């Protein structure tokens, strides 16, 4: 049976905050600014009777941590290693419950679409309900964040939704040049106005003038391991827990690089509705816009989309879907 997302009241938000305070072994919004020995390690992780897939291990100020994935919901958590029972495995496929999980199902979806040069990974509409999965890319840019995207969302959904789910793809170079804008987004999340899925969009986000098959991550000399891992560490240093999702710069990839990303335990997410390229959003579409100041057309198209659906939004017949939930359909 399909599970629809619950609408959270302020009482629910209070209970969530209370849980965070009490459950100190689960790390939320902590800045890991002194990370050492950051490793891609897979493990069967048991925490308070629940099973997780450990995908990273690291130390920070003398404490050991495990970045773990809930194989059912695909949510990620930083767990204190001392509070967990951990059995290391050599590959993610050897985690006992991984093979029958939603996590593995997502891998299979990705591999069914990994041969294309552009827009590989999860790129099809889901779930089959009114609304969209909104993904916002923040590629390197010297321009300020397009706050109008978020401000328009709040106006459109005022009185309808308390915490709006959005997926934001962060590049490391954007983070380093936009500390204030990043904190503005984090504050919106901390206030319960946004439920943000933070997606790894690589550290440097290389781009050149060469054809696509020699561009972005396919550019000569690109170190995929560095691009993935350095960005995760940077995100953690800012108090951001990286999600299990990954977005290719330019949506450009190859079979080899997709397998590399999967080997990190990450799920590539594409888009079937890159608005600035004239692609139209359908129900359940994974919509892509850039809010880095470099894509005015996409931003304006998104604002027009919200205006066209205003009556449906107010009647709760058109919603923003949480990217995690779409995989459960």
What's the pLDDT tens digit per position in 130-180? 999 999 999 999 999 999 999 999 999 999 999 999 999 999 999 999 999
When the pLDDT of each residue in the chain is averaged and rounded to a whole number, the result is: 92
> Residue 128 burial by CB count (10 A; 0-12/13-18/19+): exposed, middle or buried?
exposed
Half-sphere exposure of 140 (CA within 13 A, CB side): 12
Q: Which long-range contacts (CB under 8 A, 24 or more apart) does 60-65 make?
A: 60/32, 60/33, 60/34, 60/35, 60/36, 61/34, 65/27, 65/32
| Residue 68 pLDDT | 98
Q: Which stretch of DSSP H or E encloses residue 168?
A: strand 164-170
pLDDT of residue 217: 98
Which alpha helices (DSSP H) does the chain contain, by range? 10-22, 102-111, 148-156, 172-177, 179-190, 224-237, 255-263, 296-308, 310-314, 323-326
> Is the model's pLDDT at 12 over the cut of 80?
no
Residue 328, pLDDT above cutoff 70: no
CA atoms within 13 A on the CB side of 198: 23
Name which of 137, 141, 132 is nearest 291 in CA terms. Answer: 137
pLDDT in tens, 88-128: 999 999 998 898 899 999 999 999 989 899 989 988 777 77
Does the pLDDT value for residue 24 go beyond 60?
Answer: no
Residue count (the chain): 329
Domains of the chain by start residue, with CATH: 10-101 (no CATH), 104-326 (3.20.20.370)
What tokens does 236 get? 């953690």
């Amino acid at each position: 049976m399909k599970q629809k997302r619950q609408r959270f009241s302020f009482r629910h938000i209070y209970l969530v905050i209370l849980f965070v305070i009490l459950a100190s072994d689960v790390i939320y919004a902590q800045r890991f600014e002194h990370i050492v020995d950051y490793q891609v390690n897979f493990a069967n992780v048991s925490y308070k009777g629940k099973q997780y897939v450990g995908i990273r291990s690291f130390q920070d100020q003398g404490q050991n941590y495990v970045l773990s994935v809930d194989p059912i919901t695909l949510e990620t958590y930083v767990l204190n290693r001392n509070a967990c029972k951990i059995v290391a495995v050599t590959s993610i496929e050897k985690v006992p419950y991984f093979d029958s999980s939603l996590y593995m199902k997502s891998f299979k979806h990705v591999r069914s679409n990994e041969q294309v040069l552009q827009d590989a990974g999860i790129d099809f509409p889901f779930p089959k309900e009114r609304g969209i999965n909104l993904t916002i890319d923040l590629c390197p840019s010297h321009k300020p964040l397009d706050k109008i995207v978020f401000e328009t969302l709040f106006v459109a959904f005022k009185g309808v939704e308390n915490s709006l789910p959005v997926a934001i793809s962060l590049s490391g170079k954007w983070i380093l040049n936009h500390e204030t804008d990043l904190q503005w987004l984090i504050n919106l999340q901390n206030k319960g106005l946004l439920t943000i899925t933070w997606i790894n969009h690589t550290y440097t986000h290389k781009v050149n003038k060469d054809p696509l098959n020699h561009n972005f991550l396919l550019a000569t000399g690109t170190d995929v391991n560095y691009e993935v891992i350095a960005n995760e560490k940077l995100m953690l240093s800012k108090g951001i827990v990286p999600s299990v999702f990954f977005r290719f710069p330019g949506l450009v990839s190859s079979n080899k690089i997709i397998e590399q990303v999967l080997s990190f335990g990450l799920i590539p997410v594409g888009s079937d509705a890159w608005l600035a390229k004239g692609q139209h959003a359908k129900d359940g579409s994974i919509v892509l816009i850039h809010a880095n100041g470099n894509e005015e057309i996409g931003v304006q198209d998104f604002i027009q989309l919200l205006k066209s659906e205003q009556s449906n939004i107010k009647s709760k017949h058109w919603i923003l879907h949480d990217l995690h939930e779409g995989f459960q359909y």
